[in-house]
Structure 1
């Protein structure tokens, strides 16, 4: 497995990570791994625009759009 080093981490941020890790019963390293898993995994899920739109409006029951009348197709342009 790979490893990374994070330099110049604010003391306050480190304290918050320690508290969050303790609340979840994990080490600071495991908590940081879990945060990274959630952050990176979320971006992979949102790549499907159709699913992202569906999730956004599913809670309110969807949205009905008025579709305009369709007319005849235009002639193909000649160049």
Structure 2
């Protein structure tokens, strides 16, 4: 049997505890499950960095003109040639 760690929070105000209980009811969870969900959300990374967003940010920082963006988008669409090692 695997024992899970226990977290104890002292001096929680009645208002905060009531708000947590109401939130748990709204989400259909126990109080413990609601607190776990809140803690997990608070410590998870802020989402993955998506390549498209990163490239768009770089483009904005580089202050590319519309013409430059059009040139970038006119890249070669042909299939690559197979590699010959002979």
TM over 0.5: yes
**Displaced runs of 4+ in structure 1, greater than 3 A?**
none
Could you say which residue in structure 2 is the equivalent of 1:65? Answer: 62
**Given the two structures, how large is their TM-score scaled by the length of structure 2?**
0.53
Could you say which residue in structure 2 is the equivalent of 1:9? Answer: 12
CA RMSD, 1 decimal:
2.9
CA distance in 2, matches of 1:5, 1:63: 47
Could you say which residue in structure 1 is the equivalent of 2:39? Answer: 36
Where structure 2 has 5 or more consecutive residues not aligned to the other structure, the ranges are 65-86
CA distance in 1, matches of 2:9, 2:61: 48
Where structure 1 has 5 or more consecutive residues not aligned to the other structure, the ranges are 68-79
Aligned with 1:63: secondary structure? helix
